[in-house]
Structure 1
Amino acid sequence: MNDSETLARSLTRRFGGRWSAQPLRASSFCSTWHARGRGMDAFVKSLPMSSAPVLEAEADGLDALAATRTVAVPAVHGCWCDEEAGLAVLAMQWMTLRLPDAGFGERFGRALGALHRALPPAGGGCFGWHRDNMLGGTPQRNRWSAHGGRNGWIAFVAHERLGALNARLAHRGAPAALRAAVDQVIAALPGCFDDGYAPRASLVHGDLWSGNWAMLTDGTPVVYDPAVSCSDAEAELAMMELFGGPPSGFWQAYRQAAGLHEGYPRRRALYQLYHLLNHVLLFGGSYEQQALACAHRLLKGSG
């Protein structure tokens, strides 16, 4: 029995009826499939059962985003472990996408602003999440901060974001100069928030580069592949600017929906450093120099 047949039988055991599955190769971190059965299409991810928490965390993040009723996400049809197939499976709504139109950026800005403005579903104003999840292929640690506000956020960034990745870099044998620079950035974190900005916990997608947003055929913005947490919304925006930028019309609509502190540009590199360090872990190469240069800009106060 080939992999497609194995997955199709798992879908049949879960949902009934007859299913087929065609491989998509849409991810480098798991197997992806276009599945058909019971008169519907589904986008399916699968991994060995030992990696079930990866897909369970994704399903949890999609459900949390959907519950805010702000930005569209694929509906989760089911997430399960199939011992007979030896697979963990996540089945989601199949979404047909098209190229963004002229008004997409404005609609996206309003939707994301509404998400960031919404009351987070957990945490009571603290930062973190009720489970760890994945940032691409890297585990993302989400232990709750002891407090909310400025001090809680600084502690969260220090321990759960930059500190956690720096420990992984040390384990991987990353250059000592990079790890030392990250430690220096952590020590200097309070200076990034000396302009009166008070971070507020918002539910964020967490990995919102341009490959993780799109437009449905009816013009609705949609996001997927989340790494959710309750974090400072500025961290989300910085990631969106790291590899390109939001579509035209986004910024004005976002500011109208959620506001944006005038000091965001000086903190942008801080949040981008986290994602650059993750890319060092995932891909190495030139990202080491990019991350080091980013850290040095922060330490010089040029953001």
Structure 2
Amino acid sequence: QARRMFEGEMASLEAILKTQTIKVPKPIKVIDLPGGSTAFVMEHLDMRGLNRHAALLGTQLADLHLHNQKLGEKLKKEGSIVGEGQMEVQFVDQFGFHTVTCCGYLPQVNNWCSDWVSFFARQRIQPQMDMLEKKSGDKEARELWAQLQLKIPGLFNDMEIVPALLHGDLWGGNVAEDDSGPIIFDPASFYGHSEYELAIAGMFGGFNSSFYSAYHSRIPKAPGFEKRLKLYQLFHYMNHWNHFGSGYRGSSINIMRNLVK
């Protein structure tokens, strides 16, 4: 289990590192230790809590999210794939990731999918529902999810979503800074909708208004942003419910109730 978790984290760090948009600790190696345990060796960074570089984090996070889109635009402009082999990062036109990652200790399936709404429903919310079903068989959650599935496509009317490389678990405990600027770590990356990233960021604090202002000056809020943010927070509340128990049931149920109205 630990090896799978660390390999997903290593692949995530490598992917973010290649974009050259935002600082992460350089991953070195996943190693097996005597007795069956596993360790993940990475660069040591002398970090402190995010403070004066919050706005720069917003700018750099937006640059990370726009990186793949810009690659796509460059490819289109050049009108040819000649020389693509020399590019450090390839343009990705689907949602997913090339390996399993873990959000907490629970594995996330990242099978490639051309449609974001399908990817999110099937590979993010549905596995969480399946786990809840096994543990508690929560009837209300099951019924609300059946209704919500029908409503989700309507939250994405007239939206063209270009896959964005995401950190995937960007809460306040996974960001820091040093003298050179912001640092993000402990990712669970995949190519998804950029708005997804802001869901957990808004749930547990740690990000001030300068972070959001800088981010949205690069990627403005699209119509319907607030409702979609709730939908993305639903994943994290359900993930917490599956990790830590029914203390997170109320938040999960409330979001579903509000979204099916």
- TM-score strictly above 0.5: yes
Match of 1:139 among 102, 107, 110: 107
SS at match of 1:164: helix
Could you tell me how far apart the structure 1 residues matched to 2:91 and 2:245 are? 34
How many residues in Structure 1 have an aligned counterpart in Structure 2?
A: 242
Could you tell me which residue of structure 2 aligns to residue 231 of structure 1?
Answer: 192
Match of 1:183 among 146, 156, 167: 146
Could you tell me how far apart the structure 2 residues matched to 1:153 and 1:295 are? 19
Could you tell me how far apart the structure 2 residues matched to 1:174 and 1:69 are? 45
Indicate whether 1:59 and 2:10 are aligned.
yes
Could you tell me how far apart the structure 2 residues matched to 1:278 and 1:75 are? 27
Could you tell me which residue of structure 1 aligns to residue 209 of structure 2?
Answer: 248
- Amino acid aligned to 1:239: I
TM norm structure 1 = 0.75
Could you tell me which residue of structure 1 aligns to residue 45 of structure 2?
Answer: 95
Q: After superposition, give the CA deviation of every residue in 1:120-173 in whole Å (9 maximum; x if it has no partner).
A: 75673111111111010211111111x2xxxx0111111101112111111112
Q: After superposition, give the CA deviation of every residue in 1:261-280 in whole Å (9 maximum; x if it has no partner).
A: 13211211000000010011
TM norm structure 2 = 0.87
Indicate whether 1:281 and 2:242 are aligned.
yes
Indicate whether 1:202 and 2:164 are aligned.
yes
Deviation at 1:233, TM superposition (A): 0.5
Q: Give the 3 Å change call, closer, same or farther, for CA 165–122 of structure 1 in structure 2.
A: farther
- Amino acid aligned to 1:256: S
> Which has the larger share of strand?
1
Indicate whether 1:80 and 2:31 are aligned.
yes
Q: Give the 3 Å change call, closer, same or farther, for CA 238–172 of structure 1 in structure 2.
A: same
Q: Which has the larger radius of gyration?
A: 1
Matches within 5 A, 1:166-177: 166-177=129-140
Could you tell me which residue of structure 2 aligns to residue 106 of structure 1?
Answer: 55
Are 1:212 and 1:223, in contact at CA under 8 Å, matched by a contact in 2?
Answer: yes
Are 2:50 and 2:175, in contact at CA under 8 Å, matched by a contact in 1?
Answer: no
Q: Which ranges in structure 2 are unaligned for 5 or more consecutive residues?
A: 70-88
Are 1:119 and 1:202, in contact at CA under 8 Å, matched by a contact in 2?
Answer: yes
Could you tell me how far apart the structure 2 residues matched to 1:69 and 1:261 are? 26
Q: Give the 3 Å change call, closer, same or farther, for CA 266–222 of structure 1 in structure 2.
A: same
Q: Give the 3 Å change call, closer, same or farther, for CA 159–122 of structure 1 in structure 2.
A: farther
Could you tell me how far apart the structure 1 residues matched to 2:174 and 2:36 are? 28
Could you tell me which residue of structure 2 aligns to residue 129 of structure 1?
Answer: 97
Are 1:108 and 1:250, in contact at CA under 8 Å, matched by a contact in 2?
Answer: yes
Higher normalized contact order (CA 8 Å, seq sep 6+, divided by chain length): 2
Could you tell me which residue of structure 2 aligns to residue 290 of structure 1?
Answer: 251
Percent of aligned pairs with the same amino acid: 30
Are 1:207 and 1:226, in contact at CA under 8 Å, matched by a contact in 2?
Answer: yes
> Which has the larger share of helix?
2
Could you tell me how far apart the structure 2 residues matched to 1:87 and 1:99 are? 30
